[in-house]
Amino acid sequence: MKPNVFIDRNVSSEVEAYLAQYCTVDKWEESSPIPREILLKKLENAEGLLTAGTQVDAELIENAPRLKAVSSISVGYNHFDLDAMRENGIIGTHTPHVLDDTVADLALALMLGTARRVAELDRYVKEGQWKAGIGNTWFGQDVHHAKLGIIGMGRIGEAVARRARFGFDMDVAYFNRSRKPEAEAQLGVRYLSLNDLLAESDFIVMLAPLTTETNKLIGQEQFKLMKPTAIFINVSRGQTIDEAALIEALQAGTITAAGLDVFEQEPIPENHPFLTMNNVLTLPHIGSATEATRANMAMLAARNLVHALTGQTPTNTVAELR
Ligand code: NAP
């Protein structure tokens, strides 16, 4: 008998057809997110779940007595309650590697966009303000040859470092819990303590995963260590920074600008202060959102799920559940 799987969001017909070769597939057909109570009902008989950001916690597991594996179409898996999954022997997989270059491109887009004020100046042109030379109030900052500090020098961090070092001649430093001598040798990057990195960098890119340790890792104290000209980029998860402290730092001129792909609450609430701040570039969590990369991620996640449900060892089981 084929295992039952539930897909809780839209995926391509290729992904669905692949899964259907090995599994009996049910799916959420609508473009709006599936309401939690419907999801829980759908999982009553499911052995597998293909998802992206759905909270996989004790409540979900309790409602899914046959669940064996959850495959996330994402590299981050902060929506997995790892203790609850471990206790119930549920395999959890994610999609590392396939999105590294795409997310790194977006980190660079945010660096360039904030430094050269791309969104602000686009509005300036479209609003008909371009009547003569722009004048130095609109000048930006150089990205090339500037100092970049990467917090969380993993797969994506290294892809950012490569672009910054070899594409923009930047001086790149990083902070991790452990040093990476190979990356230091290959990419010419320096290891710094978090405080030194914050104090030295012109651009700071947050790429550490959201965990209990990194929750609000960057708050008031950390923003105060940064240069007044610093530009802060977050492509990890909104909760890795204290958003209220970032707003305060930007309003007080403690730092110059921020480029954000992720937020404490997503979608961002209508009245959020960031939405009226010209020195904040806001994107709707699109780090991996290109046609090709999202297709590759979804297919990899489908393969991970099939492996987990057919007795093979999935290569992409998340580290804490191996
Ligand atoms: P990764 O390869 O696991 O890299 C994460 C790095 O963070 C590791 O080098 C790790 O090194 C470091 N780290 C972990 N805990 C830390 C801590 N407490 N303090 C400092 N450094 C810490 O992950 P990845 O594939 O590069 O992805 C990174 C994150 O990017 C994901 O978890 C996800 O949240 C985010 N992401 C966002 C998007 C988007 O659309 N915006 C897309 C993809 C990924 P140590 O273990 O040595 O500390």
- Distances, alpha carbon 112 to alpha carbons 116, 141, 197, in Å: 6, 9, 20
Tell whether ligand 1 has an atom less than 6 A from the beta carbon of residue 149. Answer: no
Give the whole-number percent of the chain exceeding pLDDT 90. Answer: 98
Residues with catalytic roles: 237, 266, 285
Residue 229 Cα to ligand 1 midpoint, Å, equals 25
Q: What is the spatial distance between Cα 23 and Cα 26, in angstroms, rounded to a whole number?
A: 9
Is there an atom of ligand 1 within 6 Å of 109 CB? no
Give, in order, the Cα–Cα distances in Å from 139 to each of 6, 142, 256, 261: 51, 10, 13, 23
Tokens of residue 152, six digits: 């969380």
Q: What is the pLDDT of residue 148?
A: 99
CA of 92 from ligand 1 middle (Å) equals 17
Q: Where are the chain's structural domains?
A: 4-98+291-321, 100-282
Q: Which of 100-109, 261-270, 290-299, 308-317 has the lowest mean pLDDT?
A: 308-317
Ligand 1 atom closest to the Cα of residue 177 is: 48
Q: Which amino acid is at 227?
A: K
Confidence category of residue 294, pLDDT binned at 50, 70, 90 = very high
How many angstroms is it from 38 CA to the middle of ligand 1? 32
Is the distance from the beta carbon of residue 73 to the nearest atom of ligand 1 less than 6 Å? no
What is the predicted pLDDT for the residue at 276? 97
The domain 100-282: what is its CATH number?
3.40.50.720
- Beta carbons within 10 angstroms of residue 143's beta carbon: 21
Asked whether this chain's domains 4-98+291-321 and 100-282 adopt the same fold, the reply is yes
Q: How far is the CA of 154 from the centre of ligand 1 (A)?
A: 6
Assigned token pair, 128:
């008909």
CA-closest residue to ligand 1 atom 39? 287
CATH architecture of structural domain 4-98+291-321 = 3-Layer(aba) Sandwich (3.40)
